[in-house]
Structure 1
């Protein structure tokens, strides 16, 4: 239940000292300290533990920064922070992963080689970012430990391994760490990673390309044929300061189809469905959705926007109605309909014994396990699969369960059902539902669920029953809503 807590647990992970822009920092994985009430640091070979706290957590990139609460001078004595490697490691370069994996109490060092550098989904976040694949073992406890090259420079942070595979581990590369730390140092908080705000489809099929163009020849990229911007006052793209994104555009063929645009993203003000994105950040996009990365390597084009912050602008070349346009796109924050990390404490509303909660990925996992996308009802799995909000504060509200009482006799079998409307009004989010219940003046309150099921409760009797349900089940309050 959302008002209760799970049994207290403890876990161990790794952390290390890093020097960035002249500032000493303690770095670990976000998943290692997520929801932690107590963080203790222990230096190698020593028995004393130092209390610390989390000062910045980036769930998208699975990184967190720690700060000592006490004993800072003693902790830093003799500690030499690592420095970030300025360039991405090459394939087959050697790497050493340091940390405290399961199987012992002392530090462990494993050696491997770089086998791939590519965009990968980060298990703790909801986005894909650049990651380094290595063949060194990464086990529980390695999380948050540094990966070092032959010159003892930090090339990344160990953070996850490929399930059901042997010796395939992943490291968060130095450039992602650099962006995370730079955002914190300049703003004092997590600044995120740029999100382009639309879904796209490859145009590798010749017949599809012909249909998109209506029989016209594929256009050459014409830099500067027209210009516009999401923000008319912003004339300079943030990508202009990034040399890696300044590869000059060249005439050629390629592009991807814009198939769906997130209504809450800045892209909704600029792009349209059936637009063809030809280049981004000065990099031509291939028909498969990739751009040039390194020598003889290509990478998915969202890599370009992931190197920028939300609010930054990136240059686009877009084919629309047979003409090529050069525009500036403002990048946004990812805003999933079903969040992976909902606000704390968990929100809920109890009314007449009915318990309503917002749908989240942790809720899906708690009810149906790791295979929730296969086991959960379609009405709850489908929002997670599409994961696009129609408006900024939209939530999927779920009737989690119904407490037994004389009022709810014959209704307790309703559980894990999506709530669609209350008294004929579409429910926008949990706070909106609470307001609808407070403002209800009719004889009954009508709830419409998925599959067109209806629940009706006498308004005043339901309000009286709510307090009885809270006392019987020892629930501290009738509702808990997030502070906005």
Structure 2
């Protein structure tokens, strides 16, 4: 009888696995890859990834699988025909995307996979996908090693992630991680040169994304717009009149554009968030005896909702309800990593100008301190974007400036500017004979306005550039 039960159990398990396999999709993409060092250039790249069919005849995958795409095709497990697809919704923040297949017959006979809950440590999971090294579906098993906030490579932002020890490789991205026949995560990234250390976007984040797009647009994940310091040092706690029984973190910097700016000030101690105690190291308990970043309780809210903060100020405890209306890009001077867009640039007399982006910092591998410092600053109502002189296209008219590159610009003819658009407009509308650019150290670049305009078409032809500015 026991033997019969075992056979029945194995049979049920195999059937369940086959049903899951029928819902796994291979994704083929052609993408236009920008060149941030030469912003008028790009290249095409073909790649593949994985996905799964979920409710509503939709395919769930990673944003990085379909980022910058120009053409997408999908193929079901056990089939050979490819179907054209398109991105319906995408969140580069949390590396998730929803694809829509143009021919609905693609879904005939399929069953959508359901979303599960946050798995526990050492819980067994099975990962499905189409990694490099073959064309057939790959199925690997492992356990959950950690659940904590991790930096998502695709956006550079911190979000909750699941670390697993199941083998994953390029091409597995976007595939589902299954436990108890439900999706508990989507394969996202791995640590190179490591032994089976991979990361999943948790079902909790996926559910937030799916709820967000119900109104037809993706608002993203909210951002508090503040920096904090741990309060583990006894002297520091005494300085801020913090009793031993309390724990929390000190507010040390706030974005002027953040809604938090109206309620908080430097030196405030954040004691709790939405009723959850904040530890002295900035962590909160999100599962029994498991801790992660306090922003966990911000990430649970949709943009437009509010979060309650308990604050210690001048030895008195107060509370504030902060409406979460901003994302990180609203608060930062240099936005998070951008995708699905070509770099912006403007050429004037061979001088190439562009906004400072994190993509440029990565692609140029720049170690220039001023650029790195700018990437860590908040935006303000007066300064929403940093502008740099990317390079100088050599010509007799700009002799002496050919070595300028990745040079931060702070003033134009003695005036500040808010962003790249305003900077470009100031040059185009200037009536002065010289355009004088200046950095905070006092170094100046002077451009003869009339001469720069007269040589523009010649320089563009010489360097095979079609336009003096991006679209």
| TM-score of the two chains, using structure 1 as the length reference | 0.86
Match of 1:270 among 263, 267, 272: 263
Q: Does residue 137 of structure 1 match 2:159? A: no
Aligned to 1:243: none
Q: Does residue 94 of structure 1 match 2:130? A: no
Q: Does residue 9 of structure 1 match 2:45? A: yes
* 468-477 or 204-213, which deviates more: 468-477
User: Partners in 1 of 2:95 and 2:382 — Cα distance?
Assistant: 25
Please give the secondary structure, in 2, of the residue aligned with 1:201. Answer: strand
* 269-278 or 282-291, which deviates more: 282-291
Q: Does residue 333 of structure 1 match 2:323? A: no
- Asked if 2 retains the 8 angstrom alpha-carbon contact of 1:42 and 1:48, the reply is yes
Cα–Cα, structure 1 residues 30 and 393, in superposed 2: closer, same or farther, change >3 Å? farther
Output one character per residue of 1:284-309: Cα deviation in whole Å (capped at 9) or x when no partner: 11112122221222222110001112
Aligned to 1:127: 157
* 45-54 or 450-459, which deviates more: 450-459
Aligned to 2:142: 112
- Where in structure 2 are the equivalents of 1:365-376 lying within 5 Å? 365-368=362-365, 372=366, 376=367
Cα–Cα, structure 1 residues 115 and 5, in superposed 2: closer, same or farther, change >3 Å? same
Please give the secondary structure, in 2, of the residue aligned with 1:13. Answer: strand
- Asked if 2 retains the 8 angstrom alpha-carbon contact of 1:280 and 1:301, the reply is yes
- Asked if 2 retains the 8 angstrom alpha-carbon contact of 1:2 and 1:346, the reply is no
Which consecutive unaligned segments of at least 5 residues does structure 2 have?
A: 1-36
Aligned to 2:379: 389
- Asked if 2 retains the 8 angstrom alpha-carbon contact of 1:199 and 1:258, the reply is yes
- Asked if 1 retains the 8 angstrom alpha-carbon contact of 2:229 and 2:249, the reply is yes
User: Partners in 2 of 1:480 and 1:401 — Cα distance?
Assistant: 16
Cα–Cα, structure 1 residues 472 and 333, in superposed 2: closer, same or farther, change >3 Å? same
- Asked if 2 retains the 8 angstrom alpha-carbon contact of 1:3 and 1:475, the reply is no
What's the Cα RMSD here? Answer: 1.7
User: Partners in 2 of 1:3 and 1:377 — Cα distance?
Assistant: 20
Aligned to 2:346: 349
Shift of 1:475: 2.2
- Asked if 1 retains the 8 angstrom alpha-carbon contact of 2:390 and 2:405, the reply is yes
Aligned to 1:27: 60
Shift of 1:265: 0.9
User: Partners in 1 of 2:156 and 2:136 — Cα distance?
Assistant: 33
Aligned to 2:79: 46
User: Partners in 2 of 1:211 and 1:427 — Cα distance?
Assistant: 40
User: Partners in 1 of 2:243 and 2:464 — Cα distance?
Assistant: 70
User: Partners in 1 of 2:466 and 2:413 — Cα distance?
Assistant: 27
Match of 1:203 among 231, 242, 257: 231
- Asked if 1 retains the 8 angstrom alpha-carbon contact of 2:68 and 2:339, the reply is no
Which consecutive unaligned segments of at least 5 residues does structure 1 have?
A: 219-251
User: Partners in 1 of 2:368 and 2:291 — Cα distance?
Assistant: 39
Shift of 1:165: 2.1
Cα–Cα, structure 1 residues 393 and 10, in superposed 2: closer, same or farther, change >3 Å? farther
* 462-471 or 59-68, which deviates more: 462-471
User: Partners in 1 of 2:382 and 2:257 — Cα distance?
Assistant: 6
Please give the secondary structure, in 2, of the residue aligned with 1:7. Answer: strand
User: Partners in 2 of 1:7 and 1:361 — Cα distance?
Assistant: 19
Q: Does residue 72 of structure 1 match 2:104? A: yes
Please give the secondary structure, in 2, of the residue aligned with 1:425. Answer: coil
Cα–Cα, structure 1 residues 476 and 171, in superposed 2: closer, same or farther, change >3 Å? same
Q: Does residue 36 of structure 1 match 2:40? A: no
Shift of 1:467: 2.9
The total of aligned residue pairs comes to 431
Q: Does residue 322 of structure 1 match 2:315? A: yes
- Where in structure 2 are the equivalents of 1:40-439 lying within 5 Å? 40-69=73-102, 71-73=103-105, 75-85=106-116, 87-149=117-179, 151-185=180-214, 187-213=215-241, 217=243, 252-331=245-324, 332-335=326-329, 336-339=332-335, 340-341=337-338, 344-368=341-365, 372=366, 376-384=367-375, 386-391=376-381, 394-439=384-429
Output one character per residue of 1:139-178: Cα deviation in whole Å (capped at 9) or x when no partner: 10110000001x2111110111123421111111111101
| TM-score of the two chains, using structure 2 as the length reference | 0.88
Shift of 1:387: 3.9
User: Partners in 2 of 1:97 and 1:402 — Cα distance?
Assistant: 49
User: Partners in 2 of 1:104 and 1:63 — Cα distance?
Assistant: 25
* 305-314 or 2-11, which deviates more: 2-11
User: Partners in 2 of 1:454 and 1:422 — Cα distance?
Assistant: 10
Q: Does residue 460 of structure 1 match 2:457? A: no
Shift of 1:392: 7.2
- Asked if 1 retains the 8 angstrom alpha-carbon contact of 2:68 and 2:341, the reply is no
Output one character per residue of 1:162-198: Cα deviation in whole Å (capped at 9) or x when no partner: 234211111111111011011112x212121121111
User: Partners in 2 of 1:346 and 1:414 — Cα distance?
Assistant: 20
